[in-house]
Structure 1
Amino acid sequence: MRKWRLGAWLGLILGIVVSLSGCASQSTSRTKSSSSSQQPKSAYVTSSRPTFYVHGFQGSAQSTNTLIKHAEKTAHAHKVYVATVSTSGQVTLSGNWSAKTRNPIIQVVFKNNLAQYDQQSAWLAKVITTVQQAHHFSSYNIVAHSAGCVASVNMLMTKQASDFPTINKLVTIAGPFDGVVGEDDVANQNSFLASGEPKYLHAAYELLAAKRANFPNGVHLLNVVGNLDDGTNSDSLVTNVSARSIKYLTRGHQVVYTEKDFHGKHAQHSQLHENAKVALTIDRYLWHR
């Protein structure tokens, strides 16, 4: 009898231990599942929309390398192509754009980096078309510096084929839309009239103003302006009035305009594309949730 009672007690205790073990296992499983489902999302989106980085007058790949590397590190973007345009206008793509690439970037390099705005505009349109033929997309972004800003805006004001993709976001960095200091502009000479139009209209501005009716509607525009804070109200080459004059050109086109001003020595014309704060501002503008 005692042996039977002892066996019964041992069986009961073993059953309780197994039951508790099973409950603990289920609880751990639920905790892991709950923890997995509550993983924080990335602060940056996952998009297949390409972004074209365009350098300026006398520029090269070096002009956009820092911005692109920052985007790759911060916004999980990936440079998929380098689009090189020969002096004769032939476009060569080097790189690979796989189907699931996150936030793809195309770096545009003009071998003739002294070409006029209208020529670079035509080349940029050809780059976009060439990339679209290699990897289909319906909309795109542009990040441009200096003369690349004018070439990009001029391209957007030029009628393209009906199947040409649609611009989504445009980032202009130190755009000389209404003149360059030392060429056709002077520091602190120009100003805005009550209407928002610049008092003096230089050659580049007149070129764009004549075509402004063609600018697309609904574009999101981030305009980056540099000020050395040395009394010139410029980044050394582009006055603040010249850079800001893009806003008046796009009036009436439902443009969502955002302006970011940067100050000090790192806001110098060529330093703007090396400035980490500028790069972060661009990354957040293009890809932040």
Structure 2
Amino acid sequence: MQRWRLGVYLGLVMSLVMLLTGCATNKASSTTSQSKRTVAKSAYVTSSRPTFYVHGFQGSAKSTNTLIAHAEKTAHAHKVYVATVSTSGQVTLSGHWDAKTRNPIIQVVFKNNLAQYDQQSAWLAKVIQTVQQAHSFKSYNLVAHSAGCVASVNMLMTTGLKLPTIHKLVTIAGPFDGVVGEDDVANQNSFLTSGQPKYLHAAYELLDAKRANFPNGVHLLNIIGNLDDGSNSDSLVTNVSARSVKYLTRGHNVHYTEKVFHGKHAQHSQLHENAKVALMIDRYLWHR
């Protein structure tokens, strides 16, 4: 009788051990599977919407190389085309845009990097149209530095252009209302209670006259540099000049975000080499 009871007891113990082991194994397997899914999901989206990077006055591909390289490394973006605009306005695309490419980037290069805003606006519109003919898309993003910001905003306010819908616009050190040493002076300008700059320079007056044409619903990230040397500027563009783009978008339901970077790495040309600036742009454009 005792042996029988002992056998039953040992059988129950073995069954309990096997049950607990199975539960632990299933739980571990479930945890491992869940962990793999968590690791596999990127913090950045997978989008087919193209983003155009535009340099400024006297700029070149070097002006946007660092920003693009950072986007490729961090946000899993891929440069698909370099769109080169000749001095006569002819657009040449080099590269390849595969249908499955994640977060595609087009780098815009003007051979004549001294052209006026309106000319660069026309060229930029032609670049976008040329790329759309090569690879169809319905909406796009723009990242621009310095004079490229003014050219981009001017293009968006120009009627008669058959362009896709602008989704997000990033302006870096945009001289919308003057350039220090040319038609602006540090700490001279300010904003009125209405938000309008006190002094309206020639280029700004032209933009303001067209502001009714600014598209609705645009997401705008305005990046500004301040050297913290008392000039309230990035050496070339005062903070007031850079901020003045906001007044141009009034009444258009623009989702406006402003970020000021400080110190020596916030100098006008250093902004597009600044890793913190690049990271902010990547997150603004592609972060979930």
- TM-score under structure 2 length normalisation: 0.90
Which residue is 1:139 aligned to? 139
- Could you tell me how far apart the structure 2 residues matched to 1:76 and 1:26 are? 34
| 2:45 paired with 1:48 | no
SS at match of 1:221: strand
- Could you tell me how far apart the structure 2 residues matched to 1:265 and 1:150 are? 24
- Could you tell me how far apart the structure 1 residues matched to 2:51 and 2:44 are? 15
Identify the range of structure 1 (78-87 vs 30-39) with the bigger mean alpha-carbon deviation.
30-39
Matches for 1:15-164 after TM superposition, within 5 Å = 33-39=33-39, 41-162=41-162, 164=163
Q: Can you list the C-alpha shifts for 1:158-186, whole angstroms capped at 9, x where unaligned? A: 12445x20000000000000000011001
Change in 2 beyond 3 A, CA 1:264/1:27: closer
1:39 Cα offset (Å):
3.8
Which residue is 2:5 aligned to? none
Q: Is the 8 A contact 2:180 2:238 kept in 1?
A: yes
Tell me the amino acid that sits aligned with residue 174 of structure 2.
G
- Could you tell me how far apart the structure 2 residues matched to 1:27 and 1:238 are? 59
| 2:172 paired with 1:173 | yes
Matches for 1:211-230 after TM superposition, within 5 Å = 211-230=210-229
> What is the root-mean-square deviation in Å for CA atoms of aligned residues?
2.4
Q: Can you list the C-alpha shifts for 1:89-114, whole angstroms capped at 9, x where unaligned? A: 00000001101111110000000000
Change in 2 beyond 3 A, CA 1:241/1:206: same
> Which stretches in structure 1 are left out of the alignment for 5+ residues?
1-11
Which residue is 1:246 aligned to? 245
- Could you tell me how far apart the structure 2 residues matched to 1:160 and 1:43 are? 38
- Could you tell me how far apart the structure 2 residues matched to 1:264 and 1:98 are? 40
Q: Can you list the C-alpha shifts for 1:64-107, whole angstroms capped at 9, x where unaligned? A: 00000011111111110000000000000000110111111000
SS at match of 1:171: strand
What is the percent sequence identity of the aligned residues? 85
- Could you tell me how far apart the structure 1 residues matched to 2:34 and 2:267 are? 50
SS at match of 2:259: strand
1:40 Cα offset (Å):
5.1
- TM-score under structure 1 length normalisation: 0.89
> Which stretches in structure 2 are left out of the alignment for 5+ residues?
1-10
1:204 Cα offset (Å):
1.1
Change in 2 beyond 3 A, CA 1:25/1:55: same
Q: Can you list the C-alpha shifts for 1:215-241, whole angstroms capped at 9, x where unaligned? A: 000000000010111111110100000
- Could you tell me how far apart the structure 2 residues matched to 1:233 and 1:71 are? 29
Tell me the amino acid that sits aligned with residue 95 of structure 2.
G
- Could you tell me how far apart the structure 2 residues matched to 1:103 and 1:177 are? 29
Q: Is the 8 A contact 2:51 2:140 kept in 1?
A: yes
1:37 Cα offset (Å):
4.0
1:36 Cα offset (Å):
3.9
Aligned pair count? 278
- Could you tell me how far apart the structure 2 residues matched to 1:212 and 1:88 are? 29
Which residue is 2:4 aligned to? none
Give structure 1 regions of 4+ aligned residues with deviation exceeding 4 angstroms: 22-35
